[in-house]
Amino acid sequence: MISKTMESALNKQIELEAYASFLYLSMASWCDKEGLNGCAAFMHRQSDEERQHMLKIYHYISEVNGHGLTPAIAQPPHEFESINKMFEQVYLHEQKVTKSIHSLVELSNKEDDYTTLNFLQWYITEQREEEALMRSILDKIKLIGTGPMSLYYIDNEIQKINKAEMTAEEVEKEA
Ligand code: OFO
């Protein structure tokens, strides 16, 4: 059984993960429109991942006898200034999610809720990995620069990263 305070904090996290899923879906659609197919595939996969993060919390809340609430999701932006700016926005959003996970950890400690503390460990690792991934993408974009073929090279690189992420997910599933 979790406290009402913890239940409501976890429901807030559901909202954040749901928004991330919608934001990344909107980014995938924008990338498609711009002809950046590698980036679109990457963002679609990220969007699906965020939905999984959200569902994981629903299941957890049920398991500990609480009630997971389906949130109203704010409309995400549809247009992005550039691919660089778009990934900067992803990185910022991931940092926001990390902060929120850390606040949940703080609350679990305060409430001596070791079950939730244990549940949150997976998210701590996930956020570290996501932030590192987004930083590496931003570094790559910077390295490629803004030359005439830059969008083509960026898209190819993101395509490669996406394939590597898909392989890693498969390996994780089989483990
Ligand atoms: Fe679920 O927010 Fe990052 O990965």
Query: pLDDT for 143-169, tens place per residue?
Result: 999 888 999 999 999 999 999 999 988
Query: pLDDT for 3-45, tens place per residue?
Result: 999 999 999 999 999 999 999 999 999 999 999 999 999 999 9
> 101 CB less than 6 Å from ligand 1?
no
Ligand 1: nearest atom to the Cα of 129: 4
**Residue in 136, 125, 84 with CA at minimum distance from that of residue 102:** 125
Query: pLDDT for 106-123, tens place per residue?
Result: 999 999 999 999 999 999
Query: What confidence tier does 172 reach under pLDDT thresholds 50, 70, 90?
Result: confident
Question: Does residue 103 contact residue 117 with C-beta atoms inside 8 Å?
Answer: no
Query: pLDDT for 63-97, tens place per residue?
Result: 999 999 999 999 999 999 999 999 999 999 999 99
Cα angle 76, 127, 173 (rounded to 5 degrees) comes to 100
Give the CATH number of the domain where residue 170 resides: 1.20.1260.10
CA of 127 to the centre of ligand 1 (A): 6
> 154 CB less than 6 Å from ligand 1?
no
Overall domain count for the chain: 1
State the first-to-last Cα distance of the chain, in angstroms, to the nearest integer: 30
165/94 Cα distance (integer angstroms) = 17
> 133 CB less than 6 Å from ligand 1?
no
29/104 Cα distance (integer angstroms) = 32
CA of 144 to the centre of ligand 1 (A): 26
Q: Where are the beta strands (DSSP E) in 79-124?
A: none
> 113 CB less than 6 Å from ligand 1?
no
> 15 CB less than 6 Å from ligand 1?
no
Query: What confidence tier does 1 reach under pLDDT thresholds 50, 70, 90?
Result: confident
Range of the domain at 151: 4-174
> 97 CB less than 6 Å from ligand 1?
yes
